[in-house]
Amino acid sequence: MDKLNKNNSFGVPDGYFDTFSSDIMKKIAKEDASMPPNEGFKVPEGYFETFNTRLLEQLESIPAETKVIPLKSYKKHYYTAASVAAVVLLFLVVQFNSDKTPSYSDLANSDIENYFEFNDLELTSYDLAEILPIDDLDLNDILEIRLDNDNIIDYLDSHIEDFEELNMHNDD
């Protein structure tokens, strides 16, 4: 043993195992004396003598075929499949009942304005001029404030001195 464990610092006193069993028996006897007689469990008289015969009788009375109870229940899977089927069915019913197809007139003006405001179309003013029909375009379509003829005449009266300034014909 000295050859195997040269670096082992643990040791056992000499003669320790010679008196080991007697020391344990003394401790058990001391604990039995300190234990009150009313504590612990009581076994009826002759319980262990008839235990084997009673156990065999109970085993023989069990039917050969017993009901097997699966540990994993499949009800959860059935409920999940039923809920998915219900959602799909509801989706299909809603799709088939909607006869109306969305059109351009269904969109709110604010939705259209938000789309053009927040989406970069990369169109220049020249591109827009080519796309928009000028013949159908009215000045009031572009301006936010609607111009009435009375407002235009009032503005011209207050800001223009001579009516000839409005003449835009070049006779040259």
Predicted confidence (pLDDT) per residue in 112-136, tens digit: 778 877 887 777 778 877 777 777 7
Average pLDDT in the 157-168 region? Answer: 71
Q: Please report whether residue 39 resides in a domain.
A: yes
- The predicted model scores a pTM of 0.22
* Distance separating alpha carbons of residues 172 and 169, to the nearest angstrom: 9
Res. 171: pLDDT tops 80: no
Instruction: Give the pLDDT confidence score for residue 117 in this predicted structure.
Output: 79
**Greatest distance between any 2 Cα atoms in the chain:** 142
Q: 97-105: which pairs have CB atoms within 8 A and are 24 or more residues apart?
A: none
Res. 147: pLDDT tops 90: no
Range of the domain at 36: 20-61
Q: Please report whether residue 158 resides in a domain.
A: no
Q: Please report whether residue 24 resides in a domain.
A: yes
- What is each CA distance from 37 to 24, 30, 40, 47, 89, in whole angstroms? 21, 14, 8, 20, 73
Q: Please report whether residue 122 resides in a domain.
A: no
Q: Please report whether residue 120 resides in a domain.
A: no
Q: Please report whether residue 41 resides in a domain.
A: yes
Do residues 142 and 148 touch, judged by C-beta distance below 8 A? no
Question: How many domains, the chain?
Answer: 1
Q: Please report whether residue 25 resides in a domain.
A: yes
Alpha helices in the chain (DSSP H): 20-34, 51-61, 75-97, 109-118, 125-131, 139-142, 149-159
Q: Please report whether residue 49 resides in a domain.
A: yes
